[in-house]
């Protein structure tokens, strides 16, 4: 039950509505950067959710067509488009969940940190508008480098006096999705059953899959652990290289982001059994932000789950210590970016 099962729960919800036990579509979701590579398929997946009544799509260009197109799908939510800074406030009013995939993606040879200069400003500006217009919303940050953009968002919200650490999330669901897929393939397991917690951050070695905590319980050789860990850490780069300059992961990312949105909506709707991994403010380690499994509830994070970090293997313990300096530096870079501004 500790599994974030987007597909099965969504299917059950659809079935329930087919049998007349009407699911109340009542939540408003905004996607900022909705015309992009992630934004478009994410908007489609969110449009399919029976829990969404209003889907607000914002971008600096090209979002009208995306909204017109999606609005023809006969699912409950009403789709509205918003273009440019002057329409951002209206896009955000009354929204329950804001998802931010706005910004530039990587090209071959780039690290996520290379995106900092452009995306830091974009995230700062967008989160300022969130603070002004829907300070109670769950905020899902997808724009990279997540290890820095989440601390940036936190600082902006603090400056605005509306920071609620229980409602700010760095989206690391794709790392979990990848880990689940690769482990199921390697071990010949049924995909739907596999759940691997991924902790730390969302870049290179800061991505730490805890393979020893895989459910169902499964054993790996040292070689398998090394190979799977490295593949999960570099999976984003695998896609960047295959796309050869045309961007980074968009479809798998949209799938992962939609799962995190659905989990958040279920939590808002009172489901008491919603767990996901996410990069959040945390006291599980000595770092101020850390990705771990969290329990979601109506008010955001109900609990951080410390048990995954107990009884680590020697490999995992070493990897955890090794990732801390890099993650710490990325967090501090984000905080400094906001604090140094007038």
Residues catalogued as catalytic: 202
257: left (phi over 0), alpha (psi -120 to 50) or beta: alpha
- φ and ψ of 53, to 5 deg: -100, -30
Is residue 46 close enough to count as binding ligand NAI by CB under 6 A? no
The answer to whether 303 and 309 have CB atoms below 8 angstroms apart is: no
As a whole number of angstroms, the distance between CA 68 and CA 79 comes to: 8
- φ and ψ of 332, to 5 deg: -65, -35
Is residue 330 close enough to count as binding ligand NAI by CB under 6 A? no
Contact pattern from residue 156 through residue 175 relative to ligand NAI, giving x for each residue in contact according to CB under 6 A and a dash for the rest: ---------------x--x-
* Location of structure tokens 């509306």: 162
Q: Name the nearest CA neighbour of 53 among 82, 71, 28.
A: 28
Residue with smaller CB distance to ligand NAI, 220 or 289: 289
Among 13, 30, 32, 97, binds ligand NAI (CB under 6 A): 32
Q: Dihedral sign for Cα 274, 278, 281, 284, please.
A: positive
Is residue 204 close enough to count as binding ligand NAI by CB under 6 A? no
Binding part of the chain for ligand NAI, among 55-63, 74-82, 265-273, 312-320 by CB under 6 A, reads: 55-63
Residue with smaller CB distance to ligand NAI, 250 or 285: 250
Contact pattern from residue 235 through residue 274 relative to ligand NAI, giving x for each residue in contact according to CB under 6 A and a dash for the rest: ------------xxxx--x---------------------
Contact pattern from residue 59 through residue 78 relative to ligand NAI, giving x for each residue in contact according to CB under 6 A and a dash for the rest: xxx-----------------
Element (H, E) at 235: helix 222-243
Is residue 119 close enough to count as binding ligand NAI by CB under 6 A? yes
Cis peptide before 278 (omega within 30 of 0): no
Q: Least distance from C-beta 101 to ligand NAI, angstroms?
A: 5
Is residue 180 close enough to count as binding ligand NAI by CB under 6 A? no
* 3-state class (DSSP) for residue 160: coil
Binding site for ligand NAI (CB under 6 A): 32-33, 35-39, 59-61, 101-106, 115, 119, 122, 126, 142-144, 146, 171, 174, 202, 247-250, 253
């Amino acid at each position: 039950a500790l599994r974030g099962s987007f597909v099965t729960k969504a299917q059950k919800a659809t079935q329930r509505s087919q049998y007349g036990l009407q699911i109340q579509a009542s939540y408003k979701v905004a996607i900022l950067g909705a015309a992009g590579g992630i934004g478009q398929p994410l908007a489609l997946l969110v449009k399919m959710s029976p829990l969404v009544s209003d889907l607000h799509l914002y971008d600096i260009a090209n979002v009208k067509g995306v909204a017109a197109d999606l609005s023809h799908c006969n699912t409950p939510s009403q789709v509205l488009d918003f273009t440019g800074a002057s329409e951002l406030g209206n896009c955000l009013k009354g929204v329950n969940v804001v998802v931010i995939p706005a910004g530039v993606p990587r090209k071959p040879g780039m690290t996520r940190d290379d995106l900092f200069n452009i995306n830091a400003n974009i995230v700062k500006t967008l989160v300022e508008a969130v603070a002004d217009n829907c300070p109670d919303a769950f905020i899902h940050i997808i724009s990279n480098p997540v290890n820095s953009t989440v601390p940036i968002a936190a600082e902006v919200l603090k400056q605005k006096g509306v920071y609620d650490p229980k409602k700010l999330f760095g989206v690391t669901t794709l790392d979990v999705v990848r880990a689940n897929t690769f482990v199921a393939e390697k071990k010949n397991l049924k995909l739907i059953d596999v759940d691997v917690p991924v902790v730390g951050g969302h870049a290179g070695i800061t991505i730490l899959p805890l393979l020893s905590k895989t459910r169902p319980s499964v054993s790996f050789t040292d070689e398998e652990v090394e190979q799977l860990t490295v593949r999960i850490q570099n999976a984003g780069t695998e896609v960047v290289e295959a796309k050869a300059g045309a961007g980074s992961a968009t479809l798998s990312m949209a799938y992962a982001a939609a799962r995190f949105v659905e989990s958040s909506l279920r939590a808002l709707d009172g489901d008491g059994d919603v767990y996901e991994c996410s990069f959040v403010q945390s006291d599980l380690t000595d770092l101020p932000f850390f990705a771990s499994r969290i329990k979601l509830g109506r008010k955001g994070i109900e609990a951080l789950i410390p048990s995954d970090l107990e009884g680590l293997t020697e490999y995992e313990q070493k990897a955890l210590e090794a990732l801390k300096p890099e993650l710490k530096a990325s967090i501090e870079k984000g905080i400094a970016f906001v604090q140094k501004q007038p």
